[in-house]
Structure 1
């Protein structure tokens, strides 16, 4: 199932992607009823509700498909005002230098343990949203990443069971101001600028994704392919990452883990070829089974 958030009537609403259009969950529940189930209002409530919430969403989607659903129930995707596919994650945990060829292109040693840093909710933004390049940086870089979304509380998980806690996956762009990132040994300043964590367009449930470490991952800038790899190049696979983090912190439903980026970032180019993101650049992250996430860079006013 592909869940998403969109904005209508001044509020963020939950949608479900279907072949006939995007199901407005609130409108569908008003039209068809919830059949005794609790209807989630957003992705976080769908995660908290577990399989029962997903069953309710499936029933509503099936009811819409089997009927002449009114236009207010099934919406054209092309007309949506998107919102991030998660609205309020408790944690956004990121893994650095987690693709072997990316570590090599930046002349960095292969990590012996996952490199962990964080982003914050101010960095969240949506598919098709503009991202404003901070005035304090001239070296903003793209990073196509697979995001893991936790589905149930997990602590001290064995690697073999770690993925049982995952609700789903989505595309992410770990935008990075390299000049700010490298100013000190701590990366946070270059990672936490407003809008530096585009997420979406969909949150795809784990059952539709299968093996997260065998997905093609790409990034294009203005239609030019910059990154083209596979999640199989990760140094620490998804189950290892979730297990490792759970040894050190309790992971909660709705937590997001960004798993690192493949080779092809601007920082990995020879200095004479490094052209960082500029006003008007359109960046698209595409991951197999998860869709495409596009954002346009804009100069920050002032």
Structure 2
């Protein structure tokens, strides 16, 4: 099932996609008012059954999309997780994933503008697979890690490259307002199937900039979930960004950065295409 978050008539809620329409599930499944709450209360199966019985009642034009999870407790990001990207950055090989964070209030939804800040002209794209945690935990065994996944989505982990390099810590360049695009929807594992060979592609103004498959990940998803849960408890609705392929704009000759009027797309296997225009900060 495909689930999404949205605002309708000024009220935030969530629903499911059925036959290209939307079923509004807000408050209808044991009172759950958000996708994050439905995940935390283990209500997705019930929500999927209700959506199938009800059928679509809304068109996409009836709602304003929100990031798939607008308010995750944590957004944990993995860097340098494709060999081509690690090589283009000239970073050494590592035994453990590189981890940084993004803040929830830096996110935008599908078709909303990614914001190029006034302070920098080095806004770069980073197409990534997002993992949404369902059942949380600490010290999750790698063998059971995929049992903790509520769903998958597309993410554009936009980076402000000069701020990223102010020190050895990535975070200042990774969490500017309006730079993390998340959507268009979350697909549950039962519908998505085996994720390990999905293609991932990022396009800028129609030109392919990044292209890989998830089989290229240096640290696969179960290893990432297990490692993160060693040092922090994972909770329902937490989001893990799993790294970006090679081909980022910053490492091209000459570099290519996103600017006002551009359109960037991230497409991953069955997860659809996340589309965002680029706009200057006002």
**TM-score, normalization: structure 2?**
0.95
Whether the 8 Å contact between 1:97 and 1:111 is mirrored in structure 2 is no
Q: CA deviation at 1:77?
A: 2.5
Tell me: CA distance 1:92–1:20, structure 2 relative to 1, closer, same or farther (3 Å). closer
Question: What 5-or-longer segments of structure 2 have no aligned partner?
Answer: none
* 1:187 aligns to 2:170 (yes or no): yes
Whole-angstrom CA distance in 2 between matches of 1:122 and 1:62: 32
CA root-mean-square deviation: 1.5
Question: What 5-or-longer segments of structure 1 have no aligned partner?
Answer: 30-36, 66-72
Find 2:270's aligned residue among 289, 292, 296. 289
Find 1:152's aligned residue among 130, 135, 152. 135
Whether the 8 Å contact between 2:18 and 2:52 is mirrored in structure 1 is no
For residues 94-131 of structure 1, the C-alpha deviation after alignment (integer angstroms, 9 at most, x for no partner) is 00000011111222222221000000112111011112
For residues 155-183 of structure 1, the C-alpha deviation after alignment (integer angstroms, 9 at most, x for no partner) is 11121111111111111011000011011
Whole-angstrom CA distance in 2 between matches of 1:292 and 1:79: 20
Whether the 8 Å contact between 2:129 and 2:268 is mirrored in structure 1 is yes
Could you say which residue in structure 2 is the equivalent of 1:116?
A: 99
Whether the 8 Å contact between 2:8 and 2:62 is mirrored in structure 1 is no
Instruction: Please give the residue correspondences for 1:145-224 in structure 2 after superposition, counting only pairs within 5 Å.
Output: 145-224=128-207
Q: CA deviation at 1:20?
A: 4.9
Tell me: CA distance 1:217–1:181, structure 2 relative to 1, closer, same or farther (3 Å). same
Whole-angstrom CA distance in 2 between matches of 1:20 and 1:296: 23
Q: CA deviation at 1:78?
A: 4.8
* 1:38 aligns to 2:21 (yes or no): no
Could you say which residue in structure 1 is the equivalent of 2:75?
A: 92
Could you say which residue in structure 2 is the equivalent of 1:256?
A: 239
- Number of matched pairs: 282
Q: Secondary structure at the residue paired with 1:240?
A: helix
* 1:23 aligns to 2:23 (yes or no): yes
Could you say which residue in structure 2 is the equivalent of 1:60?
A: 50
Whole-angstrom CA distance in 2 between matches of 1:191 and 1:167: 25
Could you say which residue in structure 2 is the equivalent of 1:68?
A: none
Whole-angstrom CA distance in 2 between matches of 1:83 and 1:253: 18
For residues 191-232 of structure 1, the C-alpha deviation after alignment (integer angstroms, 9 at most, x for no partner) is 010012111110111222223322110111111111111011
Instruction: Please give the residue correspondences for 1:126-145 in structure 2 after superposition, counting only pairs within 5 Å.
Output: 126-145=109-128
Could you say which residue in structure 2 is the equivalent of 1:47?
A: 39
Find 1:279's aligned residue among 254, 260, 271. 260
Whether the 8 Å contact between 1:38 and 1:56 is mirrored in structure 2 is no
Tell me: CA distance 1:238–1:55, structure 2 relative to 1, closer, same or farther (3 Å). closer
Whether the 8 Å contact between 2:136 and 2:235 is mirrored in structure 1 is yes
Whether the 8 Å contact between 2:26 and 2:34 is mirrored in structure 1 is no
Whole-angstrom CA distance in 2 between matches of 1:148 and 1:17: 19
Whole-angstrom CA distance in 2 between matches of 1:55 and 1:248: 30
